[in-house]
């Protein structure tokens, strides 16, 4: 039996508060021809995030809405409005949550690539190992996870592309847009094959740890690659912390699914963005309640000290 994930512990009120972060981006168009919309963009987004968090089909989503509220938009309406949703809206929502979570300095900066299947969700869920790696219908995704000074693991950046896209090209815009300074940058050997990515890593990280090794016939000659190779030899224990990015990706896939119920790549990409937005928002809410609990606990302890004194 699959273990229940706490990442699903987001209520309708939580999702509504999440969408309120981009309320200014969801203003209804004026002077538009045709019949006025019955359901607002905000309401449709709430439904879509509920669908994503609980890994529901559009048909199951409508069933739950009727059971809970007594009404629901038609399946065709939800799907049409979803197809017209701009990815820029989701990117803006993602960036606003990240700005609430991450400061200017972080402990770790870890990029890694993964994939989310689509177009054949039920068939893909049964595939494993070599079979799943040969599927052509998947969203190639590069995720950057940072660990801040408080020990929180936050998805700092997401870049998506068509199947089998080059991870190095997907990670470049994430590095260039990075507004943080990291103590350590951890990445797998793929990112050490070129000097350009290593230079960009060195601009944002005090220490860059990437596994680079001499070949059987060719030695590492470029000074930057050789410097990173020597750092890797000294910091093998630190490099083991790269499991953090794998752990975050695993949590997201286990909670929200690793396959998207979509036929088109554009729609599958939107679902991928929603999953990482939901994860970051869960981290934000969890941090808020932990801080609130600690404040209450400190207040109780201070009161007891006064009474004892």
Summarised one tens digit per residue, pLDDT across range 138-196 is 889 999 999 998 889 999 999 999 888 889 999 999 998 888 899 999 999 899 888 99
- pLDDT tens profile 69-103: 888 899 999 999 999 999 999 999 999 999 999 98
Report d(CA 241, CA 37) in Å as an integer.
49
Q: Indicate the SS3 state at residue 148.
A: coil
Residue 235 pLDDT exceeds 60: yes
Average pLDDT over residues 230-238: 92
Q: Indicate the SS3 state at residue 102.
A: coil
Burial (CB count within 10 angstroms: exposed 0-12, middle 13-18, buried 19+), residue 88: exposed
Looking at residue 127, its pLDDT comes to 54
Percent of the chain past pLDDT 70, that is, above it, reads 84
| Mean pLDDT for the chain overall | 84
Contact present, 213 and 234 (Cβ < 8 Å):
no
Identify the residue with better confidence: 243 or 306. Answer: 243
Looking at residue 309, its pLDDT comes to 43
Q: What SS3 string covers 200-218? A: HHHHHEEEEECCCCCCCCC
Structure tokens at 117: 């299947």
Looking at residue 134, its pLDDT comes to 52
Q: Quickly state the pLDDT bin for 307 (edges 50, 70, 90).
A: very low
Contact present, 153 and 147 (Cβ < 8 Å):
yes
Report d(CA 205, CA 182) in Å as an integer.
5
Average pLDDT over residues 110-134: 67
């Amino acid at each position: 039996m699959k273990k229940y994930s706490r990442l699903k512990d987001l209520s309708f009120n939580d999702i509504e508060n999440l969408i309120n972060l981009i309320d200014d981006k969801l203003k209804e168009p004026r002077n538009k021809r045709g019949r006025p919309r019955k359901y607002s963009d905000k309401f449709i987004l709430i439904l879509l995030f509920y669908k994503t968090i609980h890994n529901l089909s559009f048909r199951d989503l409508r069933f739950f809405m009727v059971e809970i509220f007594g009404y629901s938009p038609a399946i065709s309406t939800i799907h049409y409005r979803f197809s017209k949703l701009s990815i820029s809206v989701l990117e803006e929502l993602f960036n606003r949550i990240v700005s609430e979570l991450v400061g200017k300095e972080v402990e770790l900066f870890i990029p890694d690539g993964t994939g989310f299947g689509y177009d054949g969700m039920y068939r893909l869920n049964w595939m494993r190992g070599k079979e799943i790696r040969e599927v052509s219908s998947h969203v190639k995704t590069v995720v950057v996870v940072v660990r801040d000074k408080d020990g929180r693991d936050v998805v700092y950046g997401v870049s998506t592309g068509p199947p089998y896209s080059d991870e190095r090209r997907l990670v470049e815009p994430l590095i260039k847009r990075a507004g943080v300074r990291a103590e350590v940058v951890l990445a797998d050997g793929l990112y050490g094959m070129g000097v350009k990515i290593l230079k960009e890593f060195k601009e944002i990280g005090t220490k860059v740890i990437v596994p680079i090794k001499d070949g059987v016939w060719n030695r590492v000659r470029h000074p930057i690659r050789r410097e990173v190779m020597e750092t890797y030899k000294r910091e093998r224990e630190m490099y083991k912390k790269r499991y953090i990015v794998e752990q975050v990706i695993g949590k997201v896939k286990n909670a929200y699914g690793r396959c998207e119920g979509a036929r088109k790549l554009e729609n599958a990409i939107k679902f991928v963005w929603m999953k990482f937005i939901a994860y970051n928002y869960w981290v934000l809410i969890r941090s808020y309640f932990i801080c609130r609990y600690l404040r209450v606990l400190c207040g109780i302890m201070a009161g007891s000290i006064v009474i004892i004194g």
